[in-house]
Amino acid sequence: MKIQIENITHQYDVHVLKDLNFILENHHSIAIIGVSGSGKSTLLRLMSGVEKPTIGDIYINDMSVRDPNHKKRVGFVFQNHNLFPHLTLKRNITLVLEKTRKIGKDQANAIAEKYLNLLHLSDQMKKKPNKVSGGQAQRASIARALSINPEFIFLDEPTASLDPILTYEVLTAVEELKDLGKEFIFVTHVLSFVRDFADYVIFMHDGQIREHGKPEILDYPKTYELKEFMKKVR
Ligand SMILES: Nc1ncnc2c1ncn2[C@@H]1O[C@H](COP(=O)(O)OP(=O)(O)OP(=O)(O)O)[C@@H](O)[C@H]1O
């Protein structure tokens, strides 16, 4: 994919991102890492179109994230699964397909089953989110993101609320999706996953992209900030 970040400044009460400029091409699985509060989730939300930048623009494969069509190309997986609690895992998916994509019932059922199978949930699809594990619910939310056939899958710390075993389960399931031909952009604290799955890494510090490169930058950090980060997370 091609990402162009042009003069991005984003502000809540304070400036969270400060005059970011960045171009990236020909990578398919991009990890954003950095300490808490460095602006990772904000950058991810801006790139996905979930939120609009205060100043500047971002182009993903030459389309502005401000273009209403951009959102249609995006599947987003949140920190917490965000499924409707009163619906089964399968209905959580078919409802989205029927309402937002105007897909008929039979086809929606077939698509939901396809992606729930892919995420190893064929025996759980009739259950509601509170009757499955956190890892299974998170995998269902990944199935839901995939079901709309997006070009880009954004994941914002998808394992933040999971224990190590469930984290492994979810991240292994994501790794199995590598051959689907989707573009992945994700925020994570799990560096083993970054090493295994990412083909490019963006390290953020204090609202800036401080260092970026192939995953090898984790082993050979150049900047003081990434060196310090790697000491603390090892
Ligand atoms: N909706 C919001 N309203 C106000 N301030 C916000 C909002 N979202 C984020 N912030 C602030 O922006 C800064 C960056 O937050 P962001 O969530 O992007 O960082 P992060 O690197 O993803 O952190 P974490 O790893 O803890 O999720 C923080 O100081 C945070 O408090």
Other CB atoms closer than 10 Å to residue 27's CB: what's the count? Answer: 17
3-state helix, strand, coil in the chain (%, to 5): 40, 25, 35
CB 76 within 8 A of CB 145: yes
What's the CA-to-centroid distance between 36 and ligand 1, angstroms? 8
Backbone Cα Rg of the chain: 18
| Residue that is written with structure tokens 């460095």 in the block | 38
User: What predicted TM-score, i.e. pTM, was given to this entire model?
Assistant: 0.94
The predicted structure's pLDDT at residue 93: 98
Please say if the pLDDT value at position 99 is more than 90: yes
* Residue 160 pLDDT > 70: yes
As for the ipTM of the complex, it is 0.92
Which tens digit of pLDDT belongs to each residue from 29-39? Answer: 999 999 999 99
User: Average pLDDT in the 110-125 region?
Assistant: 96
Is any ligand 1 atom within 6 A of the Cβ of residue 16? Answer: yes
Average pLDDT on 11-29 reads 92
7 contacts 55 by C-beta, under 8 angstroms: yes
Q: Which domains does the chain have, with CATH numbers?
A: 1-73+154-233 (3.40.50.300), 84-150 (no CATH)
- What pLDDT does residue 53 have? 95
Average the pLDDT over 151-159 and give the result.
96
| Tokens found for residue 133 | 């594990």
Choice from 38, 41, 80, 159 to test ligand 1 binding pocket (greatest atom count within 8 A of CB):
41
144 contacts: CB under 8 Å, gap ≥ 6:
75, 83, 92, 93, 96, 115
CA of 107 to the centre of ligand 1 (A): 39
Mean of per-residue pLDDT scores for the chain: 95
Residue recorded with tokens 């209905």: 91
Kindly state the helix (H) or strand (E) to which residue 174 belongs, with its residue range.
helix 164-175
- In the chain, the N- to C-terminal Cα span, in Å, equals 30
Q: Alpha helices, DSSP H only, in 119-148?
A: 134-147
13 pLDDT band (50/70/90 cuts)?
A: confident
Q: Per-residue pLDDT tens for 167-225?
A: 999 999 999 998 888 999 999 999 999 999 999 999 999 999 999 999 999 999 999 99
Q: List, for residues 39-74, the tens digit of each pLDDT value.
A: 999 999 999 999 999 999 999 999 999 999 999 999
Q: Is the pLDDT of residue 226 over 80?
A: yes
pLDDT of residue 15: 79
- Residue nearest ligand 1's atom 12 by CA: 16
**234: pLDDT strictly greater than 90:** no
The residue written with tokens 């500047």 in the block is 56
For residue 137, CA distances in Å to 30, 64, 84, 109, 186 come to: 24, 32, 11, 18, 18
